[in-house]
Amino acid sequence: MMRPDVTELLEQLARHFRLYQELAELLAREQENLIHFNLDRLAETARSKGMIVERIRQSVFRVAENIGIVAARLGLAGEPLPTLARLAEALEEPASGRLRRAGQRLARLKNDTFRHNHDNQGYVQEALGLVEDCLSVVKDAVQPASGRYLPTGLVAAGASQALKLNRNV
């Protein structure tokens, strides 16, 4: 086992972790804005989320670069890039434990962030489904029956059943 300095890698992982924490906070705000249908704040959150995702993307490259440096010092193959767990196995304590804990902490946060984003996406899809259902009801109410197509592809026969909507709507 070798003792290469992993300080820079651990510092980069800490910065990467903080970026994911920021993303998690934005996702929580996004969910609240979705629930309260606050479109202005939702748009602001979406812009902030885009910026933080770009910062995470850039950070991934810096983390990968640092992993490559440590891997080379340990004599590990750089392709494919070794995992943090593999690097930790090749290191001595206390660096091994610190790197393993940092990797586990980051993996948990990334999983939580992914689930939160997935939940928000599901909420948006459900809301869009409700809007589509409402629009379908309105469309069916004002569309003449003779203009409707049957599942067979034929035009439905019959008198117009259009409803008169309130002009104030």
**Residue 130 within a domain:** yes
Token output for 81: 């890039």
**Residue 70 within a domain:** yes
**Residue 54 within a domain:** yes
Residue 159, pLDDT score: 43
Q: What is the pLDDT of residues 109-149, one digit of tens each?
A: 999 999 999 999 998 888 888 888 888 888 777 765 556 67
The CATH number of whichever domain residue 16 belongs to comes to 1.20.58
Residues 24, 106: Cα–Cα separation, whole Å: 12
* Position with higher pLDDT, 159 vs 121: 121
pTM for the model stands at 0.75
Residue 143, pLDDT score: 63
Residue 147, pLDDT score: 60
Cβ(34)–Cβ(120) under 8 Å? Answer: yes
Cβ(87)–Cβ(71) under 8 Å? Answer: yes
**Residue 156 within a domain:** no
Cβ(116)–Cβ(34) under 8 Å? Answer: no
Number of H helices, E strands in the chain: 4, 0
Q: Show Cβ contacts of residue 135 under 8 Å, excluding neighbours closer than 6 positions.
A: none
Q: What is the count of structural domains for the chain? A: 1
Cβ(56)–Cβ(16) under 8 Å? Answer: yes
Q: What is the pLDDT of residues 76-120, one digit of tens each?
A: 988 899 999 999 999 999 999 999 999 999 999 999 999 999 999
- Domain of residue 46: give its range: 7-147
Q: Show Cβ contacts of residue 68 under 8 Å, excluding neighbours closer than 6 positions.
A: 78, 81
Strand partners, 149: 155
